[in-house]
Structure 1
Amino acid sequence: MSACKPVYDGLCSQTTAPWFAQLDRVRQRIDEDVTARAGQRHQQWIETLHTCNNKQTPSQCVAEKTKRRISYLEVQNHLIKQRTSATYQCYATKLKAHFYDTPIPSATVYVFDTTEMFFLNPAGSGSRYGEDNNILWDKGDTAIIAVDGWLGRQECERVGI
């Protein structure tokens, strides 16, 4: 097992150590101007990991949260190129989605001057990103989109890439 930094004390395991190491490498690539603000948010994020102590498999919970954090940082800081993109025409609006090969595959949706990030979840068909009332469910030439609070569930058609 690779050594974890002291900041991860009590959270480091054979399962989580490689993800913490990758997370630290990703953070090193972030520009110094962003690092000061990101450092505060990163410390707050580390504090949320302790909620995993109440889970049946704390190490898996921490690893999952860390993979999500890596995915978020890579996309938000433009450290990874999009795998593909798609444009959808919905009833109320047109939206653009970018798809990424991150530790947990992810998608960002741009609509109404807002950006939302979704993570891939199991689906019976198509690719379902997000959960509950925040979803992008891509099914070939169609998609279903919903963002809690500002975009109700809508069916959309792919109109471009």
Structure 2
Amino acid sequence: MTEYSINPGDPAPTRIELDTWPEGRLKLADLAGQWIILYFYPKDSTPGCTTESCEFRDARPDFSAAGASIVGVSRDSVRSHGNFTEKQALNFTLISDPDETLCKAFDVMQLKKNYGKEYMGVERSTFIINPEGDIAAAWRKVSVKGHVEEVLNTLKELQSS
């Protein structure tokens, strides 16, 4: 089992400012006082990442009704995020993290294997950050199917407790 350096109950790294689509620049601290659904994904316009992003897009009204903002993060460029957003009609912010600053802060850069080769890559992960700026829930090694619904249900449980 992998040990992570950041876990539920820990303060979220909210002071890192990065380029985004479409806002320009953003740090999570700009969203202080509200719930944040922060999800990390490997690459724009790939099958699993497209499915996950479109499911977050479709569920955005439910997250908004619960007072939560959705923010996606990958190492892709702002331009790539713009193309991805337009092609998939995404309705939330995507952070560009080419230097892996936010990815490393959330400990999502993990050793992966593909066709026998090992490399460091983004481990598909989602975090719920509460209005106080603490990590309230975390999912690692996310399987896309049913994930967005699980995140929404967990958000509602956290808000009612």
Q: Write 1 or 2 for the structure with the bigger share of strand.
A: 1
TM-score band, normalised by the shorter chain?
A: under 0.3
TM-score (norm 1): 0.27
Which protein has the larger Cα radius of gyration, Structure 1 or Structure 2? Answer: 1
Task: Provide the TM-score with structure 2 as the length reference.
Answer: 0.27
